Structures are given as C-alpha cells and as structure tokens.
Structure 1
C-alpha cells in the first residue's frame, strides 16, 4: 500500500505577521505569532515543512530562534536552519530558510547565493528518511528585485542538482522536490519559475503546484509566487493554498504518495 506524505512551504515573514515593518514588535507578539504558525503546521498535517524568512538570532525579533520555537510548539522531531545572512555587532542578524520534519533528516546542507549581510537569499538541501526512503528536498528563496538575478540563482540550483548525487531508488536517481518563495509567477513571462521548470525536466517529469490558486499578498492574493515542484515517481493526491493571516504569504500544502517499491 502506498504511503502518503504532506509537504508545506511557507514564507513566515520573520514572525512579524501581516505588519509591513520589521522590528517594531514586542517579544510577546512575536511569540504569539510563532505559536499560531506552529498551530497551522499541526492543523495541516504536514510531515515536511519548508520555511523562508526564518531567524536564528536577529535584533529585529528580539534575538529569538524562530525555527527552534516553532519546532518546540509544533512537536516536529527535526529542524534545521540554513543562515544566508549573518551580521554581528550591536544589531546582529542571522536568518535564512529552514526545514522541519516529522521524520529523520538524513543529510542537509545550506547554500547561500552570496555573502551579503542583509537581503541575501539561498537554498537548503535536505534528505528526509521516511521508512528507509530518502526523499530529497530543496527549499529556496529567490531575489525579489531582479529578474536577471533570479535566473542566475536558478542556474546555481540547477548546477547543484547536476553535481550532487541524489539518493538512489532502483536503477535510477531520485529527483528532489523543489519548493519555496520564487518571487516570480508561473505565467510564460514568469522568469525564474519557468526557467527552472524547463531546466529540471532533464532530471525527471515534474509537476508544478499550486495549479491555479494565488499565494500573495495574503488579504487580496493577486499572484502565485510560492510553489512546489513535485517529480515522478511521487503522485500528488491533493493540493491546497491554506487560508491564514500569519504572514504576507499564504502557505502551500501538497499531499503525495510514495509507492511501496520506491
């Protein structure tokens, strides 16, 4: 019998909620927001969670480790944060992407796109062990300003995929699930999403989710910029953009099957 898993991707906006401004919130408010995010993750039934804009230790949210607090509140057994921005001094910053999992994380590695101390993006690669099946996941956050830079960042990810051997299944390699905040739509001129989609087809037959729902901004969603790329042999049996008011992005949930022989 096929095993079903759920993966959720969510840009949590540093735990500030729907506020447009960073750094003007009390620790109590931030902790409340994180508790609500943890509740959303539990309510979704997600087995694997990919988060963006997650702080390890930043002055603007009281030096709280957001990934660790969400993990403690939600009960996920495993959490890894990949810091793409790090600045010391009187106003320290350390934030990036995170992977949370109900199942053991067999391997993980962080890959910043550059070395800026503010605004740097990157991706985290992880292999999640589900009953002996290693499921590779890439959680990314792409630049919001420049189409040219997003394309360059996608090429970095593709190069990584070509150079890093993914787990084996049978006679072939397993293509990774790719998800996160692309800051780009999926229309023909959607730059990074389409560029990645066309390129990763060489690694397997991918499907893109959500198929038609919008993810940004939360109150009046006008476009989808948060996606999950699901490769064969996984078979998607459900997708949902979940309603929430915990960030300026909406979370995307995908449910998929792993066949017994995989």
Structure 2
C-alpha cells in the first residue's frame, strides 16, 4: 500500500474568526479560536498544515504568536513562519505564511513579493522529509486587489521554482506541491490561478483541487480562491472543504498518495 499524507491549506485571518477586524477580538477570544484551529488539525489528522495570515508579533492581535499557539495545541514537532510584513514602532506588525509539519523540515525559504509594511504578500517554500523522501511544498498568498499584481506574483513563484527546484536521485527537478490563498478563481484566463496552472503544465503534469467546492466567504461560500496544485506522481485520494467558522476562509484538506 502506498503511503498517504494529509495536507491542509488554510487562511486563518490573523486568528480573528469571523470578526471583521482582529483588534475587535479580545486576547481570550483569539486564543479560543486558535485552540479550535489546532483541535481541527488533530481531528482531521493533518500531516502538514500550510497557513496564511499568521502573525508572529502584531499589535492588532495583542502580540500573540499565532503559530506557536496552534502548534502547542495540535502537537506538531516542526514549524516555520515566513514573515512578509514587518513594521516596527508603536504599532508593530509581523505576519506572513506558516507551515506546521509532523515530519522534519529539511530546508525552507520565505520570499516577499514587495517591500510594503502592510498588506504585503509572499510565499514560503519548504522541503519536508518523509521517510527519506523529499516532499517540496510552496505555500503562497497573492494580492487581493490587483489582477495584474497577482499575475506578476505568479511569475515570481515560477522563477523561484525553476531556479531552485530540488533535484531527485536522477537529477530531475522535483515538482513542488503549490497551495494557498490565491485571491483568484480558477476560471478567468487572465488571472493568477489559470496563469500559474498553464505555466506549470509546461514542466510537469499537475491537477488542481478542490473541484466544484467553495471556500470563501465562510459564512456563505460563493467562490473558490484557496487551492492545491498537486503534481504527478502524487495521486489525490480525498479532497474536502472542511466545515466550520474559524476564519472567513474554509480550510481545504487534500489527502494524497506518495
């Protein structure tokens, strides 16, 4: 029987749940929501969790380290946070993308798409060691305002993958799993998801998940903007948009065979 791994991608919205702004939530409420996120990851038995909008030390959610709170509840041994926004002063901000894993992280790299100190997006790349096999993962968060900017960000992702791909024993580049919040649907030909899909298909066969399931907004999902691009030879065995109201996004669970 092939080994299987379970991956969850989830924009946790700075831990605020369905609140419009994280500063409106008390520290107790944020911590309660973080506990619920950790408990959900245990319940679905996720091996790897890729999260977006994860704060390390931000004034607007009481300087709580969100990654450490979730990690402590869910019991993940390995964790890495890639900060895309860092602002000092009276109202400090430090947040970005994060990965939790039950398997060792061999290598990681974080890259911001720009230099803004508020609202900047980026990606976190990591190589996960599963029984001696490298599983590359790229966790991305794209701009929500500008289609043009999203396409430029996709180009940055592809440049990084092409230049830094891990090579297997046969010296062939390993295709990473790509996941995250793309702030774009899959249908528009000129937007980020389709642009990325067409790019990566030139190099390796990929499949896009979820299919026909909505991820945003959580209270009444009307569109899918959270995706997993799964390359061959991995094979999807289960894909589910998880229920609940822990963020304005729904988490996506993808189980796949190695």
What TM-score bracket applies, with the shorter chain setting the length?
over 0.9
In 2, distance between residues paired with 1:101 and 1:167? 21
Counterpart check, 1:88 vs 2:88: yes
C-alpha RMSD of the superposition: 1.0
Counterpart of 1:250 in structure 2 is 250
Structure 1, unmatched stretches of 5+, are none
1:48, CA displacement in angstroms? 0.6
Q: Deviations over 1:49-104 (max 9, x none)?
A: 10000000000111011001110110011010000000011111000000000000
The count of aligned residue pairs is 258
Shift of 1:142: 0.1
Structure 1 segment 73-222 matched on structure 2, within 5 A: 73-170=73-170, 172-189=172-189, 191-222=191-222
Q: Post-superposition shift, 1:169?
A: 4.7
Q: TM-score, normalised by structure 2?
A: 0.98
**Once the 2 structures are TM-superposed, how far is the Cα of residue 25 of structure 1 from its aligned partner?**
1.4
Cα distance between partner residues in 1 of 2:28 and 2:190:
39
1:203 counterpart SS class: coil
The corresponding residue for 2:51 is 51
Q: CA deviation at 1:5?
A: 0.4
For the 8 Å contact 1:154–1:195, the answer to whether it is kept is yes
| Cα separation, 1, equivalents of 2:118 and 2:32 | 25
What's the secondary structure of 2:24's corresponding residue? coil
Query: How many angstroms apart in 1 are the aligned matches of 2:202 and 2:161?
Result: 11
Q: TM-score, normalised by structure 1?
A: 0.96
**Displaced runs of 4+ in structure 1, greater than 6 A?**
none
The answer for unaligned runs of 5 or more in structure 2 is none
Tell whether the 8 Å contact from 2:184 to 2:191 is kept in structure 1 after alignment: yes
Deviations 1:128-177 (A, max 9, x none): 00000010000000000000000000000000011003241545221000
